Structure 1
Amino acid sequence: MGERIMNNSSLIACVDGLVLPCWRPLENVSAFDKFGRGLIYFTALVYLFIGVSIISDRFMAAIEVITSQEREVSVRKPNGERHIVVVRVWNETVANLTLMALGSSAPEILLSVIEIWAKDFNAGDLGPGTIVGSAAYNLFVIIAICVSVIPNGETRRIKHLNVFFVTAIWSVFAYVWLYLILAVISPEEVEVWEGILTFLFFPATVLTAYAADRKMYKYIKKSYRMNVRGVIVQAEGMDSMEMGQTEIELDDAHEDAKQEYVTILKDLRKQNPHADLDALERMAHELLLNKGPKSRAFYRIQATRRLMGSGDLLRRISERAQSDLSEVKAELQRESGASEYTTGSGCKVCFDPSKYTVLESCGRFDVRVVRTGDVDTPLTVQYATEDGTATANSDYVPAKGTLHFASGEKEKQITLEVIDDDVFEADEHFYIRLSNSQPPGALATPTLATVIILDDDHGGIFKFANRDHELVESVGTYELKVIRTSGARGRVILPYWTEDGTAKKGKEYEAAEGEIIFENNESEKSILLTIIEEDSYEKDVLFYVQLGEPQMSGDDEIASLAAEAEKKRPEERTDQEKIAIMGKPQLGEITRAQIRIKESKEFKNTVDKLVQRANASLLIGTSSWKEQFIEAVTVSPSDEDEAKAPSCFDYFMHSLTLFWKIIFAFVPPTDLFRGYLCFVISIFCIGVVTAVIGDVASHFGATLGILDGVTAICFVALGTSIPDTFASKVAAIQDQHADASIGNVTGSNAVNVFLGIGVAWSIAAIYHNVHGNKFHVDPGNLAFSVTIFCSEAAITIAVLVVRRSKFIGGELGGPVVAKYLTSAFLFSLWVFYLIMSTLEAYHIIKGF
């Protein structure tokens, strides 16, 4: 190891670090020089804290991308219907206690491990002191700030209270355990089993928190819930999901995830009545990205970017919303285009249209044949009529022949003739078919046309063309067809009206009542229905339209004769009167139409795809080195207002951090290997910077006569926790719950001990055991600090529990007096902890 020298003026040992040697000379240094050296060390320490914060955020971005990975699974609704949904690979609680906790606490954990290596596997005060000091700062100061920054009149509650209590118990136990192994079980010595067991408490913490999140202690099956983004994540209180066959029973949460987007869209439509749907969808998606739950990684990176002159992540949301909407629309168009019938590049010939309705008295009429594609090549095609219910030479004149399309000719007409008679008969039909095209293969669907002959010798039978009609709510005005069959004689008045079903007039549709008039020889009319668009997701309601009795209008001989005949008994009617009654207009079998209103498929698909894209990892991830270097050299305003230019502070912070930004722009983008490569390289970079921080912090303390334990809890712990402070503040204000701001503090504190100290001491204990030695650890200041911290931690947790009562309503915010008193009390606990730990370290007061 490096040379160990005693600074006579300070009586603090200065040891060459793993990376940096001590600043020599060490003897006969004037007070002015020591102050200058201390100032330089302090400035370097601050600058290194900035650097480790920036690379930690690259590390957090990789973690966010990794933990946001999703997969598609088949979902079965309670009605048996199946569709595809997106499932989060990582459980939220597990992600927070493993990768997220490692990301936010990586400097402290690595500092503890690196210090063991730097001191030849002997215990140091800097690493453990930083972990304990950071825990105290996180629990007291961060929570104090989060309590007071909530706007007046608002509160925030921890949503996953079970997880909070489990991690709180583990966080207190972690420090109690440190005291036990240092002062009770094996005083001043850490045995191998103690170090390994300390590390094993980490997976135990994760498993118990996971069980609390899933309520396994109540033996509820594995389940999933739908978050605001429409992504299913593991949750409680639902039925099981089996991978492989993959079945999930969804509850109303599935619909609620989409309904939030729809609700936002409705509000925007009211506020912007003249805006088009695309603009409203973009604004709704932007609000969804803003309101959606975000991980601790997002808030951590957002806070750091604003501090370092790299802009506000929320400014990216508008650009992301527009990009997402454009991509979704293009994707839907491609999907729609792929399903449409295409004729190819060759020449194709077919009927257009393929259905004709004519009156018996019409005589001659034309049927249209068209060709598409290559129309420059001459083409011939044969045609011939075929009987249906209509008979050739009785109801129509048969036809047969060949059509000759010259070069460039796109359309031909086939003339057909209908035979009229004076006999009442039902409507009939016949066909005409295309065949034998030259060149071969030119026939395209439809090659068969249907001709319907309407009898026009009596008033007709009136009915709806179809009983059931399904339409999307975005249709606006819908034309409901009413047809007249078995006759088209005379002017007929047909009343109609609408009736409510599950759809209500004035809400889903506009009520309609009136009459439609069929003129003589008119066989089809439409009732106009107005559908009210609500942009509802999974809408399915219905109403009805009813037809009344048809009435002849005007001077019609048959109608008058039928009216007189109806006054007589059937046996008294003449043959002419019986024929007149048969010719009277009547209602057919479909006189009541059911109108089903469903959501717009395009709107539903747009909602599905946009909600799935509301992923914070897409905002903080990077796709290329070019993007990273452009971000590194670009100054962006930290204010959320896009119209504002960067401030002087933004330019200053950008200039100050430019070196770190450019250096860490070489870290691989998060899109490479799904973020894992960025994860590995980032943690290596954090380790390098942290090694330098450890050396500088130790030299700073030795120069000014400050013990490593005091330097750790007063300076290093504070420097490594500043980014988390701003992240928690932003999360407290923007999130609906307190989990992202303070709910993760207890879990992070437990992980710090079990990983940071557990790994470091396990390595050292094993090393010394292999060499036949014991791993000695002085319990002095650490044991005292742990005792003070645990006592105050219990008080803090009790305060938070009391704040959940109806008098305050939540852990954060609440009445003005209550929240400021809480913040002041928690901050005083931190100050008391620092003072007592420092006094004990310098033996001013006696510890234990």
Structure 2
Amino acid sequence: MSEGTLYNYTCSDKGLLLPIINEYTWSREARAFLYLIGLLYCFLGVAIIADIFMCAIEKITSKTRKIVLSSTTETEPEIIEVRIWNDTVANLTLMALGSSAPEILLSIIEIVGNGFKAGDLGPGTIVGSAAFNLLAISAVCVVALPHGETRRIKSINVFATTSFFSVFAYIWLLIILVAVTPNEVELWEALVTLFFFPGLVALAFLADKNFFMGKKKSQKKQFELQSAIDALRALRHNQVYQTILESEQGKQLKTVTPHEDKSVAVIEFNAATCAVVENVGRIAISIRRRGKISNQVSCRVETIDGTATAGEDYVPLKQIITFQPNEEEKKVFVEIINDNQWEPDETFFLKLVVSEEDRKEAALGRTCIMEITILNDDEPGILLFKRRGILVKENAGNALIPVIRKQGADGIVTVRWRTIDETALNGRDYIGGEGELRFEHGEVEKFIEVPIIDDFNAEKDEHFEVEIFEAKGGAVIGQVNRVTVTITNDDDFNTIMDRLMMLTNVNVDSLKLHSESWVGQLKDAMNVNGGDLENATRVDYVMHFLTFGWKVCALFLSFVPPTSLVGGWATFFFSLGMIGILTAIVGDLASIFGCLVGLKNTVTAITFVALGTSLPDLFASKAAAQQEKYADNAIGNVTGSNSVNVFLGLGLPWVIAAIYWAAKGKVFDVPSGSLSFSVGIYSATAMACIVLLMVRRYSSFFGRAELGGPINASRASFAFLLFLWFLYILLSSLHAYGYFN
């Protein structure tokens, strides 16, 4: 037998399920190519099923319960709906399980299929996936935003908790594999590793509720306060402020000198600036007296407009205050007017004035002007079309196109709209043009009305588009800013309704398989771009061809029920089972492919397998960074997922194996060599990454945000994080091949 044949034979029976046939007589190159194609195709299948899995989780976590508020009047009691799942708990349990399911199941399957002996593929994939998640995904998210935009982490307490555990989890592996019981894992160590998972969830939940804070301020208030501080730094240079300050300082120089502090009473504000939320009501402002305090002195405090206007944003104040002998502090109260209209943060000023007759006894201190910033608390909302496509009959008269207002309905907002000709033409098929839609306070849905022309001629279906743009009143335009209106021929309307799946959706995900019903899933699987052939691109056709096998297999074998069944739990468990089957196949394909090309399982795990199982997370995090207001879902969930990888992905299979060997009177052996080195390198790079993110949060050079900011600073962060990832891959691979210990 030749050397090449012997090598192929060695790589023929390494898997749990594969190879199915005895292809060891084939050439090594042909086998390697086929296994690589199979591995990539299975990664695509995992991505599709994982997407369905996440949809099931979304369905489960979106459940609400009704709370009846007692009423003290004769009116009916108010009923509100609240979500059952806490966001932090959901992210660290179901969501983290959804994103980490392939790595966790791979580790479990490898140990069970390997006779309860430790392997390299599962643990290596967990550490390699953690490195890719924290370093590579964070790098992409940093530069994913348009130039000048930033995203900050809102729940910094939760992020701090999960960040600590994302490093501690891997340091814990070093402790038990190197320090406590080298090269073996005892049952108590495995149980502690597993029980760290509920501990993480509990601590993160407490952090989310500000349990560890001395003063339980909400995260929203903290974030608004930080934003206000940033705004105040810029407002210090406001021309109005400078004019007032220079004027008062000029007067002050005439009335006080450093040597007169003990001979006169020096009156000033306790602080130079303050920021308040618009709905605060009244605020108390402290005025202090220092220097000579034995006499009675008076001064006047009055308000001055800045960008805020007296009578509209605050109640004007002009008041005489008198300090009695030995009285060092007085308070005045300013009333803030709360309206429902969105407006940018605004400022006004309080000024202290000492009359001419009082200047022998009193003088103004350095902080004789106080700047007050009113933080807007109104949520004008996001404006978008209710759906991407509208189907109307030619004889309908008018097309009513719904525009909705989400995530807030405070104040009056407007948005402009215009029609765009496609196959339907303005003046021939419909009467278009431009207009403005106005939402009053509290209104959440309005209609754009476009007249349709019925020419009584038989013709094919035609369509035009309507676009919304230029929102005012603080509202922003959502993603669905265009709608396609299709005008159907009256005689063919019923047959067209049978052919189309409720019309044009120009941004249908080409991988979409999930739906609320069996029929919906079948249509999604059988049609390119969800049935919208007119707007389908070449990429849509290619992806439909590549994913068709997975979709049909999943649907016709009834492996994945729709999310409408049993509140999403049926989809959850069925898709989890399919991920398990695919993960077992991925493990076999990766092991045999690595063997065929001369890669050790450790290197295969931290490169091919880790990359393949983490790519869906990359795309999801990038989309979250671009579309969401905060950075929590983009990078905050990465740290939680990395912790869950260890606590469940290693803790659970280690408990199973430790129990098995303990029953036989033996110890579960886990060689620490390559794994401990890889864990050590990851821990070092992870700490460097977290330090960089915190530096970005508080440094003006990076825009005081974890994501985005100045282009050069973002590119530098991107390059540094990618360097850390490549360094991890390089050092771990060199160690695996024995180049250094």
TM-score by length of 2: 0.61
Q: 1:274 to 1:160 in 2, by over 3 A?
A: closer
Match of 1:54 among 29, 36, 48: 48
User: How big is each residue's C-alpha offset from its partner over 1:194-233, in whole Å with a ceiling of 9 and x where there is no partner?
Assistant: 111101000111111111111112377899999xxxxxxx
The Cα shift of 1:829 comes to: 0.6
SS, match of residue 736 in structure 1: coil
Match of 1:262 among 404, 409, 412: 409
The Cα shift of 1:727 comes to: 1.1
Q: 1:215 to 1:120 in 2, by over 3 A?
A: same
Match of 1:626 among 519, 529, 539: 519
- CA distance in structure 1 between the aligned counterparts of 2:722 and 2:19, rounded to whole angstroms: 37
SS, match of residue 87 in structure 1: strand
Contact 1:61 1:670 (8 Å CA) reproduced: yes
Q: Which amino acid aligns with 1:201?
A: F
**Superposition pairs of residues 654-693 of structure 1, within 5 angstroms:** 654-665=544-555, 666=558, 667-693=560-586
User: How big is each residue's C-alpha offset from its partner over 1:313-372, in whole Å with a ceiling of 9 and x where there is no partner?
Assistant: x7799699xxxxxxxxxxxxxxxxxxxxxxxxxxxxxxxxxxxxxxxxxxxxxxxxxxxx
Q: Hey, what does 1:806 align to over in structure 2?
A: 700
- CA distance in structure 2 between the aligned counterparts of 1:749 and 1:778, rounded to whole angstroms: 22
- CA distance in structure 1 between the aligned counterparts of 2:406 and 2:570, rounded to whole angstroms: 37
- CA distance in structure 1 between the aligned counterparts of 2:732 and 2:74, rounded to whole angstroms: 63
Q: Considering only CA atoms, is the larger Rg found in Structure 1 or Structure 2?
A: 1
User: How big is each residue's C-alpha offset from its partner over 1:82-113, in whole Å with a ceiling of 9 and x where there is no partner?
Assistant: 62221010000000000000001110110000
**Superposition pairs of residues 81-100 of structure 1, within 5 angstroms:** 83-100=78-95
**Superposition pairs of residues 248-647 of structure 1, within 5 angstroms:** 261-262=408-409, 266-268=413-415, 273=435, 278-279=446-447, 622-636=515-529, 645-647=535-537
- CA distance in structure 2 between the aligned counterparts of 1:827 and 1:653, rounded to whole angstroms: 29
Contact 2:378 2:410 (8 Å CA) reproduced: no
Q: Hey, what does 1:760 align to over in structure 2?
A: 653
- CA distance in structure 2 between the aligned counterparts of 1:833 and 1:815, rounded to whole angstroms: 27
- CA distance in structure 2 between the aligned counterparts of 1:50 and 1:654, rounded to whole angstroms: 12
Matched, 1:185 2:180: yes
Match of 2:643 among 750, 753, 759: 750
Matched, 1:730 2:725: no
Matched, 1:648 2:642: no
Q: 1:40 to 1:254 in 2, by over 3 A?
A: same
- CA distance in structure 2 between the aligned counterparts of 1:223 and 1:319, rounded to whole angstroms: 42
Q: Which runs of 5+ in 2 are unaligned?
A: 222-276, 280-375, 382-404, 419-433, 439-444, 450-465, 486-511
- CA distance in structure 2 between the aligned counterparts of 1:750 and 1:816, rounded to whole angstroms: 31
- CA distance in structure 2 between the aligned counterparts of 1:750 and 1:73, rounded to whole angstroms: 35
Q: Which runs of 5+ in 1 are unaligned?
A: 227-236, 239-251, 295-313, 321-618
Q: Which amino acid aligns with 2:554?
A: F
- CA distance in structure 1 between the aligned counterparts of 2:718 and 2:200, rounded to whole angstroms: 28
Q: 1:197 to 1:78 in 2, by over 3 A?
A: farther
The Cα shift of 1:645 comes to: 1.9
Q: 1:194 to 1:9 in 2, by over 3 A?
A: same
Contact 2:513 2:521 (8 Å CA) reproduced: no
Matched, 1:705 2:598: yes
- CA distance in structure 2 between the aligned counterparts of 1:803 and 1:222, rounded to whole angstroms: 23
Matched, 1:845 2:735: no
Comparing 96-105 with 265-274, greater Cα deviation is found at: 265-274
- CA distance in structure 2 between the aligned counterparts of 1:149 and 1:124, rounded to whole angstroms: 37
Q: Hey, what does 1:835 align to over in structure 2?
A: 730
Q: 1:720 to 1:757 in 2, by over 3 A?
A: same
Q: Hey, what does 1:817 align to over in structure 2?
A: 712
Q: Hey, what does 2:36 align to over in structure 1?
A: 42
Q: Which amino acid aligns with 1:653?
A: M
The Cα shift of 1:21 comes to: 3.1
Q: Hey, what does 1:353 align to over in structure 2?
A: none
Match of 2:210 among 209, 215, 218: 215
**Between Structure 1 and Structure 2, how many residues are aligned?**
495
SS, match of residue 447 in structure 2: helix
User: How big is each residue's C-alpha offset from its partner over 1:108-138, in whole Å with a ceiling of 9 and x where there is no partner?
Assistant: 1100001111101110000000000000001
User: How big is each residue's C-alpha offset from its partner over 1:399-458, in whole Å with a ceiling of 9 and x where there is no partner?
Assistant: xxxxxxxxxxxxxxxxxxxxxxxxxxxxxxxxxxxxxxxxxxxxxxxxxxxxxxxxxxxx
SS, match of residue 217 in structure 1: coil
User: How big is each residue's C-alpha offset from its partner over 1:50-105, in whole Å with a ceiling of 9 and x where there is no partner?
Assistant: 01111111111000000010112134799999622210100000000000000011
Q: Which amino acid aligns with 1:84?
A: I
Match of 2:690 among 797, 815, 824: 797
Q: Which amino acid aligns with 1:746?
A: T
Q: 1:834 to 1:180 in 2, by over 3 A?
A: same
Contact 2:111 2:653 (8 Å CA) reproduced: yes
User: How big is each residue's C-alpha offset from its partner over 1:271-297, in whole Å with a ceiling of 9 and x where there is no partner?
Assistant: 964659732599999x9xxx9999xxx
Q: Which amino acid aligns with 1:661?
A: K
SS, match of residue 665 in structure 2: coil
SS, match of residue 154 in structure 2: coil
SS, match of residue 36 in structure 1: helix
Q: Which amino acid aligns with 2:152?
A: R
SS, match of residue 218 in structure 1: coil
Q: Hey, what does 1:18 align to over in structure 2?
A: 16
Contact 2:49 2:578 (8 Å CA) reproduced: yes
Q: 1:91 to 1:266 in 2, by over 3 A?
A: same
Q: 1:735 to 1:35 in 2, by over 3 A?
A: same
Q: CA RMSD in A?
A: 4.0
Match of 1:127 among 122, 126, 134: 122
The Cα shift of 1:262 comes to: 3.4
The Cα shift of 1:644 comes to: 6.4
Q: 1:774 to 1:15 in 2, by over 3 A?
A: farther
Q: Hey, what does 1:461 align to over in structure 2?
A: none
The Cα shift of 1:702 comes to: 1.4
- CA distance in structure 1 between the aligned counterparts of 2:411 and 2:615, rounded to whole angstroms: 35
SS, match of residue 611 in structure 2: helix
Q: 1:716 to 1:701 in 2, by over 3 A?
A: same
The Cα shift of 1:269 comes to: 6.3
